Structure 1
């Protein structure tokens, strides 16, 4: 029989997870992120957030509109000048942006979103060398993961550690260690999306809650305008990104439209049958294979090609 202490602890944990989900929904509203009423976000605490539908969805149904300014990218981060001055690009630059915003805590414009993310994703890159040798010995991944870990440490030592001493703004060293860099890389590797040519790829709130790890695509971005980048960095161009484009408006040049593409199929998804009125869009697991993802030289599943440290 559960003790009163156990029950109280469970109730406190439930209240905490409920609060963080409410905070995330308030944050989405403040960012003009439009989430369909057909979606139900569920907080499973340790297992993460899952998304379920409250009614049948059909191919092409719009389920979310996400303004680009709400996405965490190098261009939108408060560390943009620091990153661009240091000549950092790609995953390395986005990792610095993510670590910087996490270091700001409540002061970060993305705090309502970041507080929903786990510390890291469980990928081989975060395993200790002993675990890599024990679990991957005899596989193709064994050598690749060990090489990648060495490259990541090299990146941190050459490109990130110097920022702590030379950055024009004071950085919190607790958020820029090699372990924090590995954690940021794991989140980006499993959750980031390609946005457009101007913003590049970045963290897309709400979209990264959907289950993208199955072979059958369930949701994807559509209707991204060909007018991808402002001509310059003038303030009025940035302000224009704050306008949310509603479904049916015709042009979606400053927002990402997330639409329902196809139903999960039985052989690669443990979902309820398609006839069920409440089909799960995701299971309570973190997405691990985002769509339209740029090729990663540091991914253990892709061939190795030499990449300059500042672009890794």
Structure 2
């Protein structure tokens, strides 16, 4: 997918956000010129993005009249026009998978990766920069890049859960704990979107991990204890690589979404003791799922050892 096609999907999501924030009702006429002015783009990309939203069922196209809103706001909040992965995103995923499988050594070079993945050097350089931002690699001596230490086996992952069980449930009970309603509302909607997504797949691994990590870091941030937040952020950095490829169990993904939402709702209503118990149960369940032996589900979705798919 080229840059123009990617921009079309991104603009469609911007239009969705604008419609939701403006609280437009079904039947509202979405005018190209008005949207172009509001979003700072020309009418041509707006027309293309509106056509995409019509294809997805959010809008209705009326001949010689334009596009009209078809869905109410509560349904639009669960909709996202998922941007197909770019070539760079595919290379990112392959590097992660090969590192997990042991096919890549601790030190790699741009030349080596470009050859392995049939990609140009500029793209590989950009992918490595993204991996660096994600805390997975560091620029090493010369032209080499070095993978940073992460959880690499089940023993260290189990130890991480034991550590987090000491911290996260208790963090909710700290005297300074104060929740941000807007942050909770955003988290809830994001989880409902993933839970109801019709095509959860391993290609969404990075998106799913980010949602999972953001949930745990947000709850930790509410504690107003910077050391607790730093500890959870550090655990997330360590577990990113090991868990990247574990999001193949769709049933487990939806289960942890429901568990997260229950915790969110308990925090939102001030039931902090209940939220603490739910967090402990959630972490123990994920710990048990990560230690389970490899099995195959009836749907053909495998739950590999350690594939708890979000914690």
TM tier relative to shorter chain: under 0.3
Larger RCO (CA within 8 A; separation ≥ 6): 1
Which has the larger share of strand? 1
Please, what TM-score do these two structures have when normalized by structure 2? 0.24
Which has the larger share of helix? 2
Please tell me whether Structure 1 or Structure 2 has the larger radius of gyration of its CA atoms: 2
